[in-house]
Amino acid sequence: MRSWLRCSDLGLAEQRPPALQPLTDSELRLLHQRHDALRRLCRPELEMLAGEARDTMSVVVLADGDGMILDTIGDAGFASRAAEVALRPGVSWKEASTGTNAIGTALAERRAIAVNGSEHFFPDHRVLSCAATPIIDPRGALIGALDLTGPSTHGHGHALGLIRLAVDQIEHRLFRRHFQDCRLLRFHSDPAMLGTSREGILVFREEGLVAGNRRGLSLAGLSWDALDDASFETILSVEEPSRDGLLLRLSSGAYAVGQWNTDHAAARGSDLDLVARPVEPRPAMTREEREVAAIRAALSAHGGNVSKAARQLGLHRSTIHRYRKQGLV
């Protein structure tokens, strides 16, 4: 219902579907170049889900953080049918372009969602049954979405669970990158989950929380807004060593078992290099001018919310406030 209301507010009309023009071949190649790191990161899960997709007459879809489809893989016959309703690489499936659909709505809601048949905003898309989960980096920025789509005439009750598991694995691998001068805490209420994609992860620079995954924030009772605000001592305390690791007491009163991992301490969001970068040279700009332009765009995209803009850019909020004091943003 929230999605349909957003579509109406955007001026979309159910009986007037937009004409969706895919990118040209050259434009698509540039798009792939800009998102090369994301595509390589997600390749194992795309290949793994491809077999499931072929068995269920479905396709696996990878989109960027703006809902632009990068890749589809799976059943060739259904892929051709999906292309007839513009579910193909080089087409935007954000809500503003394509109405209520799993990819666009998952990105808008920042959570996993299934959209089946008549739940789609536009009638042409009601032949689809889709499940998607957004891919979120350790600083809380949306970097993409993974989707499994099949015909609405078939049951796909397992699709959302498969996609969630795949995205858990993708996001878990993001923490293999080295975060300079940080400590990475892996923890869970069940010691058997340590080292798996189900573990919680929080990253601290000195005593401040600078990154994490969704499960870690959830276990600690935090949201993405806690980044750069919360400190170690306000989140948890170390009770004592245990056979399985450190016995942790969370601020909620719950207990968990954790392990420090200094070898994979967390990098700044900008170090992840998963947000699309332009592949063609731009007119010469100073570093300050580039930062100002990026901050202005991020603030505009998030309605002036400094915390959300900082997370998207991988900056500390003090950087944005500094430019504001100078009257540059």
**Cβ 57 vs Cβ 75: under 8 Å:** yes
Average confidence (pLDDT) over 286-309 = 75
pLDDT of residue 281: 46
Angle between helices 36-55 and 159-173 (to 10 degrees): 150
Residue 3 CA: distances (Å) to CA of 161, 183, 198: 21, 39, 29
242: confidence class by pLDDT, cuts 50, 70, 90:
low
By CB neighbour count within 10 A (0-12 exposed, 13-18 middle, 19+ buried), where does 283 fall? exposed
SS3 2: helix
Rounded to whole angstroms, how far apart are CA atoms 103 and 134?
8
- Does residue 270 carry a pLDDT above 50? no
pLDDT of residue 157: 73
- Does residue 211 carry a pLDDT above 80? yes
Rounded to whole angstroms, how far apart are CA atoms 314 and 64?
17
Average confidence (pLDDT) over 32-47 = 96
Measured CA angle at 275 (ends 272, 278), to 5 deg: 120
Residue-by-residue DSSP string for 157-201: TTHHHHHHHHHHHHHHHGGGSPPTT-EEEEEESSGGGTTSTTSEE
Rounded to whole angstroms, how far apart are CA atoms 301 and 317?
16
pLDDT of residue 178: 62
Rounded to whole angstroms, how far apart are CA atoms 79 and 76?
5
Look up residue 267 and give its DSSP letter: P
CB atoms within 10 A of CB 274: 22
Please state, rounded to an integer, the average pLDDT across all residues of the chain. Answer: 87
148: confidence class by pLDDT, cuts 50, 70, 90:
very high
pLDDT of residue 251: 87
pLDDT of residue 268: 44
pLDDT digits 0-9 by tens, 77-136: 999 989 888 999 999 999 999 999 999 999 999 999 999 999 999 999 999 999 999 999
Q: Which helix (H) or strand (E) holds 246?
A: strand 245-250
Within 56-148, where are the H helices? 76-84, 95-98, 102-109
319: confidence class by pLDDT, cuts 50, 70, 90:
confident
More confident residue, 276 or 127: 127
Of the candidate ranges 34-48, 173-187, 215-229, the one whose mean pLDDT is the lowest: 173-187
pLDDT of residue 263: 54
- Does residue 159 carry a pLDDT above 50? yes
Strand order in the sheet with 208-212: 208-212, 200-205, 183-188, 255-261, 245-250, 236-242
pLDDT of residue 40: 96
- Does residue 179 carry a pLDDT above 90? no
Rounded to whole angstroms, how far apart are CA atoms 210 and 118?
41
**Cβ 232 vs Cβ 204: under 8 Å:** yes
pLDDT of residue 153: 87
Of the candidate ranges 7-11, 25-29, 281-285, the one whose mean pLDDT is the lowest: 281-285
pLDDT of residue 275: 53
Distance spanning both ends of the chain, measured CA to CA: 35
250: confidence class by pLDDT, cuts 50, 70, 90:
very high
- Does residue 266 carry a pLDDT above 80? no
